[in-house]
């Protein structure tokens, strides 16, 4: 949950019209370390692998970042006993964008 709340904060802070304060790098690092610590104790192998992949992706590749976050969310749902059946590819990536077509545009770059 901490990971999703941190992601939510980052997304909302990226929209100046909402007035959400942005996280500085130190705050972001602290939050992500806490996520990793909890995942080591409670996360499945799938969550740990996806979290490891997330830590290796750079900001310069937004599609890869979206896909890694997508996989992490799917693995977290599996851990909770939820099914991802029926959810299209890139469902969660498109869900967080105001316009899902933005994802397709990024993919073509």
Each residue's pLDDT tens digit, 3-27: 888 888 887 788 778 788 888 889 9
Residues 30 and 5 reside in one and the same domain: yes
Has this prediction a pTM greater than 0.75?
yes
3-state secondary structure of 81: coil
DSSP letters along 4-17, please?
A: HHHHHHHHHHT-GG
Residues 61 and 99 reside in one and the same domain: yes
Q: How many domains does the chain have?
A: 2
Residues 31 and 55 reside in one and the same domain: no
Residues 102 and 70 reside in one and the same domain: yes
The pLDDT tens digits for 22-40 are 888 899 889 989 999 999 9
Range of the domain at 92: 44-109
Residues 66 and 79 reside in one and the same domain: yes
Residues 19 and 62 reside in one and the same domain: no
Residues 28 and 56 reside in one and the same domain: no
């Amino acid at each position: 949950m901490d990971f999703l709340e941190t992601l939510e904060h980052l997304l909302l802070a990226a929209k100046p019209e909402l007035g959400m304060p942005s996280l500085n790098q130190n705050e972001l690092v602290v939050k992500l370390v806490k996520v990793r610590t909890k995942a080591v104790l409670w996360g499945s192998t799938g969550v740990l692998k996806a979290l490891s992949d997330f830590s290796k992706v750079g900001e310069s590749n937004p599609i890869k970042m979206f896909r890694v976050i997508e996989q992490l969310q799917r693995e977290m749902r599996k851990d909770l006993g939820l099914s991802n059946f029926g959810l299209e590819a890139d469902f969660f990536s498109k869900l967080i964008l105001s316009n899902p077509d933005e994802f397709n545009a990024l993919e073509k770059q």
